[in-house]
Structure 1
Amino acid sequence: MLLDIEKRSMTDALWRLQEADQREILTLTQQFELPEVLARTLFTRGVNIGSVISNGENIAIFGDYDVDGATSSALINRYLRMTSIQSIIYIPHRVDEGYGLNAHALLQLKKKGIELYISIDCGTLAYQPTEDAKNFNLDIIVIDHHLGTEKLPIAAAVVNPNRLDETSPYTNLAAVGVSFLLIVALNKSLRGRGFFTNRKQPDLFSPLDLVALGTVCDVMQITGLNRAFVSQGLRVIYLTAIGIRSIIYIPDRVNEGYGLNAEALLQLKKKGVGPCISVDCGTLAYQPIEDAKNFNLDIIVIDYHLGTEKLPSAAGVVNPSRLDESPPYANLAAVGVSFLLIVALNKSLRGRGFFTNRKQPDLFSPLDLVALGTVCDVMQITGLNRAFVSQGLRVTSARKTSDYVFYSML
């Protein structure tokens, strides 16, 4: 049962709200094991995503153009595909359309037969676009984490732990974290409906790589549920990226601590590793590098952390923050320094005739990684970093993947 309730805002404006009977909310929460923030919003607004999926209706995902919005969109899209539901991802053009929902895009998607819109990482303050959508007879569900006002948009549901009328403990989640909780709740609801009786249930651990990426890139506090998301997401990345795992050694944070350690270097030596490249650490690793020298293992350090006048006894220390250096690149992350290294290495190999009978590498293709590392390490986006991020986003936009659709990110 829905109750009409009158409330006054802090500015004494009169609001007429529809609220659900708390007993029915409790029943819905217990029956489908939904978080209350999801149960109340979905019940109050009278929309059930599970019904949309069960009926095979067309869904469009309207995402923000930052990493949180992109990973959130990819997450929802990946889950829907796991349930054999096709969806469209729409990322607005940053210059021509600006941030968030807009009526023109919604109307164009409606002409394509879309019946439900999921607005991700935006929408909490989209009062006019959601009003326009209502006039077009469009249902919109907002999944967001941005702080709003007492006024809510006219949407079928507003799933946002930072709504002013919420007491959710999940206020520190990025939109991708909220989206993950949504698909967990949705999966339970579909299971309760018998949707998976003749279907394979989705593996809800597999998209945690996207959750970890979006959480880190949106610079959320890595505590509580975010810590679990990032920890498990990194495990997924490690287990699924077999090629990377075979050539990269990342020390166990608990048992080995930060940076180089002699035991790991010795084990690598026993596996026949020649020169070892230490990335994003090593400038202050005096003893481990001395130990490596004793068992004839050359170390090359690529780093950006500030050191002392003393340098480790490595075969090379590439670090623009060395005290004896004065280049203009002291604001680069380790991934930026690494990129400059491969550019220099490529030039050296070309001068040696190495590519006479070989195809030269495309040095633009890894700029997506440079952009990601630069942003996630919270470096200043100026100078060379700005170029890295700008070109890296172009590379990401041009890539054809099943999970990301970028119309433009610049």
Structure 2
Amino acid sequence: MEQKRLVILGAGESGVGAAMLAKKQGFEVFVSDFGTIAGRYKTKLAEMGVEFEEKQHSSDQILNATEVIKSPGIQSTAPIVKEISKKGIPVISEIEFAKRYTKAKTICITGSNGKSTTTMLTYHILKNAGMRVGLGGNIGQSFAAQVATAEFDWYVLEISSFMLDDMFEFKADIAVLLNITPDHLDRYEYKIEKYAASKMRIIQNQTADDVFVYCADDEETQRCLKEITLIPKQYPFSIHTSLPQGAYLEDQTIHINTNPKEPLTMSISELALQGKHNIYNSMASGIVAKVLELRNETIRESMGDFKNIEHRLEFVAKISDVTYINDSKATNVNSTWYALESVGSEVVLILGGVDKGNDYGMLKDLVRSKVKAIVCLGKDNKRIHEAFEDDVDIIVNTFSAHEAVQVAYHLAKKGSTVLLSPACASFDLFKNYEDRGNQFKAAVKEL
């Protein structure tokens, strides 16, 4: 039988992980990256004997593929992807590819906001309960690399809309949809309907034996659900309405009911994650844990001692009675709304970066009531000035994390909060949101 040729576009974590698994499965593998490949990934590819190229896509090396695995960051409109599609070569995601080679079951978590936190919390609960569980997708080590090298019964996977766009046969055993709010609309012709349709792919191929966990309070999710017939078992969650199955909030207590014989209740004051948005995240993780029939005691303990991920509402320091919070992972307006909703008043807000077609309107009320000054951190801050010039007295432009922190320090009064929650992507001034968050933390520590 002829050896299959697998071409991988993008040599980041997911691409190199896919190469590891493909090599193990006996494929002929070629990796192509239009940018520069990081040193550690080059070393790994060379060690495996995988041929690769960087700073270009060579058509003669790519268009003879049996199948192509595309990094989620590469748009389907990229010239090389159009060429591949024209030739009728299938293009899939690393997640789709990896799932073919594992019997492990998957918990797949998506949503515009909260997916990293919910993925980490779910993994934390399952691991503490003694399950053999892996963590992957948009977070940590690639799913494919783990399928190639580890043995797990379950995987908790953070799944982005870009990944879902290249998933076709894949099925989640437990699918979690947290919310659908405008994000990445530049990839979806600025149409929320197209972005929402992408998110709804999380439940494709599910059967009556599978599980779908979703937010009953999310308007866009509800609109989508009216248009389809749901096959899997459903467990919605809400903070406004009591639900017979799923999870709801009543008298500051979460009620999780997947099995009427053994419901779980927990006061929100016991949760490690505070703020309204984190009640939703905790409910979603709690439902998954109950579906897997973990003990209430274990779930309560894990939901009480969880440490949140770096760069998501991360406490940095308290200096001269001013609290500094790093929420660099807030790359869209909705995330910043959640951040403002969860902190006190007297906020100096550090905002800005690469605008993805943001509508700042939803922030206006919170900015008016809580924000005393806005420090812009980005190359082009015009739209932020236009959006908030009537709502705050002070809007200042800065062009580095150090400068932003220095300005915020002078604007903040005792008892106030300096909040880095940019609502924008970071790549105008930084490598990525982690780099932005790390530079912010370093600047705060220099104060």
Comparing both structures, which one devotes a greater share of its residues to strand?
2
Structure number with higher relative contact order (C-alpha < 8 Å, ≥ 6 residues apart): 1
Scaled by the length of structure 2, the TM-score of the pair is 0.32
Comparing both structures, which one devotes a greater share of its residues to helix?
1
Scaled by the length of structure 1, the TM-score of the pair is 0.34
